[in-house]
Amino acid sequence: MRGKFISLEGGEGSGKTTAIHFIREWLDFHDIPYVMTREPGGTPLAEEIRQLILTPRDEAVNDVTELLLVFASRAQHIAEKIKPALDKGFWVISDRFLDSSYVYQGKARGGDLAMLDQLADWVVSDSKPDATLLLDVPVELGQKRVVLRNHQDRLDKESLSFHQKVRDGFLDRAKADSQRVKIIDASLPLDAVKQQIEEQLRQLNKAWADEA
C-alpha cells in the first residue's frame, strides 16, 4: 500500500523542526515505517540547490531565479526520494513543501500565482501531500525563537512585514484547503504543541485506515 505524505509548514521559528521530533516518536511508537526529509533539499543534489537558495550573498537574487531553484530541487526530491519511499509504503514527513512556495515565492514576494499553479502541476503533479500540519505562531514570537536558535539565513533576515505576509499566506492556504491543512497553535508550550500534533496524527491515521 502506498505510504502517506505529510508536510510541515509555517514561518521561521514556528517549530517545524521541533515538531519533526514529536512525529518521529509517534511513528516509532506505532511501528509505521517513515522517511524524514526537508525542503528545499532532501537529496544530495537538492541540498546543494538549497545552499544556493539560502546563502546570504551580495548579488540580488531574482525572484524568478529563486522560484525556479526551489522547483528544480523539488523535482529532484520527488523523483529520487519522496516517490520511491511512498511506493514502498513508507510515510514521508517533509519539513516544508509546496505551500511554502505559494507563500514565500508567491504571496510574500508577489510572485505570479498562475505560474506557480503551472509549476505545481508539472513538477509535483500527483505527489501532493495527503495532509499538512501548519505550525502557526504570531510573527514576533517566531522571530524571538529564531534569534534564540542563533542561526539566520537569507530569508530569516527579511522584514517583519515580509514575515507577516508569510503567516497570513499560510493561514489563507489553510482556509482554502481545510480538509488537508490542519492548523496547530504553536504559540503554546512544547508539551501542548506535542499533544495537538499527536491528536492530528491519530485522527489522520484513523481516517486513512477507514478508507483503506
Ligand X SMILES: Nc1ncnc2c1ncn2[C@@H]1O[C@H](COP(=O)(O)OP(=O)(O)O)[C@@H](O)[C@H]1O
Residues lying near ligand X in the complex (CB under 6 A): 10, 12-18, 145, 148-149, 186, 189-190, 193
Least separation in angstroms between residue 21's CB and Mg ion is 11
Least separation in angstroms between residue 52's CB and ligand X is 20
Residue 35 or 193: the one with the smaller Cβ distance to ligand X is 193
CA pair distance 173, 3, nearest whole angstrom: 24
Least separation in angstroms between residue 112's CB and Mg ion is 27
Q: Within 12-51, which residues bind Mg ion (CB under 5 A)? A: 16-17
* Contacts (Cβ under 8 Å, ≥6 apart) of 118: none
Kindly tell me the burial class for residue 185, based on how many C-beta atoms sit within 10 Å of its own C-beta (0-12, 13-18, 19 or more): exposed
Considering CB distances under 5 to 8 angstroms, the limit depending on partner class, which of Mg ion, ligand X, none binds residue 164? none
Least separation in angstroms between residue 20's CB and ligand X is 8
Residue 94 or 196: the one with the smaller Cβ distance to Mg ion is 94
Residue 41 or 106: the one with the smaller Cβ distance to Mg ion is 41
* Contacts (Cβ under 8 Å, ≥6 apart) of 4: 86, 91, 92, 130, 131, 204, 208
The beta strands (E) that lie in 129-195 are given as 131-136, 181-185
Considering CB distances under 5 to 8 angstroms, the limit depending on partner class, which of ligand X, Mg ion, none binds residue 13? ligand X
C-alpha cell at 129: 501531500
| Residues near Mg ion, by CB under 5 A | 16-17
